[in-house]
Structure 1
Amino acid sequence: MLKPAAPAPQAFQAIPSLEAFPEALRGAVVGIGNFDGVHRGHQAVLEVVRETAKTLSRPAIALTFEPHPRTVFRPDAPVFRLTPEHAKAVLIEKEGLDGILTLPFDRAFAGRTAEDFVDTILVGRLGIAHAVTGYDFHFGKARAGTPDFLREAGEERGFGVSIVGRLGDEGDETISSSRIRQALADGEIVLANALLGYRWFVESEVIDGEKRGRELGYPTANMKLAPETRLAAGIYAVRVNIDGVLHAGVASYGRRPMFDNGAPLLEVHVFDFSGDLYGKRLGVTFVSYLRGEETFDSLDALIAQMDRDSEEARAALASIRPLSPLDQALYDLPHARQA
């Protein structure tokens, strides 16, 4: 007798609001947090979500918030986002969850009590089977939704709760989004990547530029990053995703002190590539930091340094290996190949 066919796997769902939440995902195991960076500490939370969902035969989803709460409370000092909304969803999907629910966050939402968050959202709308959070996650008005509060709420309302403890790095220093932001600001890209568990990447549209790179023999794809980006100015070895094809390259981030000293710009030179990139959305992954931004006595001196930068970037990129299964999964694109 033939066995019934296994149900087809559901496509990952990025859900922008409670109103759009599908009934098929009610009763899920839900990981709750900001998840900016989806770093190794967050991945530990998502692993518990995934394994608990498997045990309970339930969907697995992440519940997060946009914009970042700190940006709402201090709009004059917006948070340098490690993973804007789309990048966060990409990483959550690669972590094997069924979806991500993003709740719009504003001061009115922040004023909801912890009890209301549990009763109206977790129980009423989502009908959760189990909640998973990190040890330091708080929610609700005055941050009253502590891990202990969530445990007690689960016992009273009939859903399970798992609290994931602190995760330290190899030196037992806590892995945190703030620490990763500081590492990127300091040019410590290798440290930032080690804490993330994958190589940090940005996505942006290529814009028209001054075409100085072309005149110097190094045509570049120019991209603006968010104004609050605190990436160290300098030269980086990078990998570039162009239409699902991965290319090696070298990039400059900064104000171009040899020329206009203007607003920060990411300028990417893709090795051995010819073609029109204007208007395309590229993914740029940062592999290593080569040097800081400098001025030179002449254009010839600048070009000579760019030649050395390119050689160093090629060497750095020739020997890289995946940092983790997640890092590998980011490059397992449906039609990707290595250029």
Structure 2
Amino acid sequence: MRIISDYQFVTDTDRGATAAIGNFDGVHLGHRSVIEMARDAAPDAPLGVLTFDPHPRAYFAPKSAPFRLMSSAARASCLAGVGVEKLYQLPFNTALASLSPYDFAQKVLHDGLGLKHVVVGADFCFGEGRSGTAEDLRNYGAQLGFGVTVAPLMAQTEQTISSTAIRRALSDARPRDAAAMLGHWHRIEGPVIGGEQRGRELGYPTANMSIDGLHPPAFGVYAVIADVLEGPHQGRYHGVASMGVRPMFGENKPNLETFIFDFKGDLYGAPISIALVDYLRGEEKFDSLEALITQMDADSLRARAILAAL
């Protein structure tokens, strides 16, 4: 997959694509439906996705609480996995935000990227002040010479599938409900970072990861699938992970600590992906280290049983 980050400097080989447009945070089932519609709209054209980095919400409200379901790198990896050939990942800045809806359609979609066809959700808004609608885009496409398909919102039973609904499920300690809307397990991806090595002293060495900038799922303990993405230990493993601030040790910066079952090796700096499969219990502060170890033993046994049944 090629990543194009400037609509004003696009090679001829990167023009003429069909593209789904949106933020695609989580790459959930609704997103995948829009991408499939883009594929079907022009099957002979390269399949593209047009998205933005940073997320427009972060641009307009930089002090808002972290809300991203995945990093830009994880999103790109996920989009590549569903067959996207061209990722137009445009910087969302003052210049882009100031374009009128028509100028966005003309200067970015038509003149800049040279898109053949675009697909957007029914709730798509664009241009300065989010004043342009999906119907406006359809009209501009007819004038400028590119096709526009407006995809209906996708529902699962009575709930519309959306990144907001997925965040709510994760906050409510319902990772399986989140996975049902995503079409895959919710994952935290990134490099293993250094920690205090307390887990090693307790007999539970962990791979620690930052969750900075991401929507924090409910704090507590999870049964997880751990994928080591590169290096000598590359592969898939089962494990148990703690999400939170580690109240037993007076910490206050949340992170994710994963104990990988039956694993020996050094993962510092290695890129890993942790899938949250099931929520086991909330975060607790124990009266003693012995009580903590006893609970960790019980958590591991329960996680092994859950993961073995997948």
TM-score (ref. length: structure 2): 0.95
Unaligned runs of at least 5 residues, structure 1: 1-11, 321-339
Equivalent in the alignment of 1:16: 5
Q: 1:236 to 1:22 in 2, by over 3 A?
A: farther
Between Structure 1 and Structure 2, which shows a larger proportion of strand residues? 2
1:128-277 alignment, distance < 5 Å: 128-169=115-156, 171-242=157-228, 243=230, 244-277=234-267
Residue 257 (structure 1) shift: 1.1
Unaligned runs of at least 5 residues, structure 2: none
| Alignment: residue pair count | 306
Matched, 1:44 2:33: yes
Aligned-partner Cα distance in 2 for 1:21–1:252: 44
Aligned-partner Cα distance in 2 for 1:234–1:29: 42
Aligned-partner Cα distance in 1 for 2:8–2:141: 23
Aligned-partner Cα distance in 1 for 2:136–2:304: 52
Residue 305 (structure 1) shift: 0.8
Aligned-partner Cα distance in 2 for 1:246–1:85: 22
1:27-38 alignment, distance < 5 Å: 27-38=16-27
Q: Show CA shifts across 1:105-142 (max 9, x none).
A: 02332111011111111110222211100010110012
Equivalent in the alignment of 1:292: 282
Residue 90 (structure 1) shift: 1.3
Matched, 1:53 2:9: no
Contact 2:70–2:214 at 8 Å: present in 1 too? no
Equivalent in the alignment of 2:94: 107
SS in structure 1 at match of 2:243: strand
1:97 paired residue among 84, 93, 108? 84
Matched, 1:72 2:72: no
Aligned-partner Cα distance in 2 for 1:47–1:78: 32
Root mean square deviation, CA, Å: 1.4
What is the one-letter code of the residue matched to 1:106?
N
Equivalent in the alignment of 1:8: none
Equivalent in the alignment of 2:302: 312
SS in structure 1 at match of 2:290: helix
> Which piece of structure 1 moves more, 226-235 or 137-146?
226-235
Contact 2:190–2:209 at 8 Å: present in 1 too? yes
Q: Show CA shifts across 1:30-75 (max 9, x none).
A: 1111111111111110010112231xx1111000011111111111
SS in structure 1 at match of 2:278: strand
What is the one-letter code of the residue matched to 1:76?
K
